[in-house]
Amino acid sequence: MALKNSPSRYGGVAQLLHWAIVALIIAQYVLAELAEEAGADKAAHPAAALAQFALLARHKSVGLTIFGLAVVRLLWRFISPPPGLPPTMPRWQVAAAKIAHYGFYLLLFALPVSGLVMSAAANYPVSYFGWFTLPDLVAPNEGLEELMEEVHETLFGALVVLAVLHVVAALKHQFVDRDDVLRRMLPWSSR
């Protein structure tokens, strides 16, 4: 498999970045849910507070990793442009695909930033896997923390909706249109 994209297929680098980000977003959801469960158990089990703290620290580190991979993925699009869409695709679908991709990039950048602002407003430093600590973006502020928590959750909801639409569209292209749009992002597919 070629590393760079071809006119008809995504290359190995684009595929790796795509699927790594997908896997890490799923991990983010799991970490957030586990942290929420641990937070609910704090009253009955004080050790749950430590578990929640550790899960949130990992959630923040994974979020920063996604942010970094999104930067790399965006730069890679300039180095190795993605394959074109099928010429048979209606213009409205081409426009929808472009909007969806711009939306993904916007959300992949906005989610980590909103999380960083939320953490700083809550007076919780953000460490990247314990290697280094990021500077706070804002001073502690309870009102801002609550607002950013809502923003963060809303952005994640938007990401889920966009991802579901993306998957449905890819499956439609594969099984209804049969135009290989999905296949060109699958690592095990040679076409």
Domain coverage including residue 157: 12-185
- Distance (Å, rounded) from C-alpha 190 to C-alpha 79? 22
Q: Is residue 1 a part of any domain in this protein?
A: no
Output the pTM of the full model. 0.93
pLDDT reported for residue 44: 82
Q: Is residue 151 a part of any domain in this protein?
A: yes
Regions of the chain where pLDDT drops below 70? 190-191
Q: Which tens digits make up the pLDDT trace of 28-84?
A: 999 999 999 998 887 788 888 899 999 999 999 999 999 999 999 999 999 999 999
User: For all residues of the chain together, what is the average pLDDT?
Assistant: 94
Give the total number of structural domains in the chain: 1
- Distance (Å, rounded) from C-alpha 71 to C-alpha 106? 11
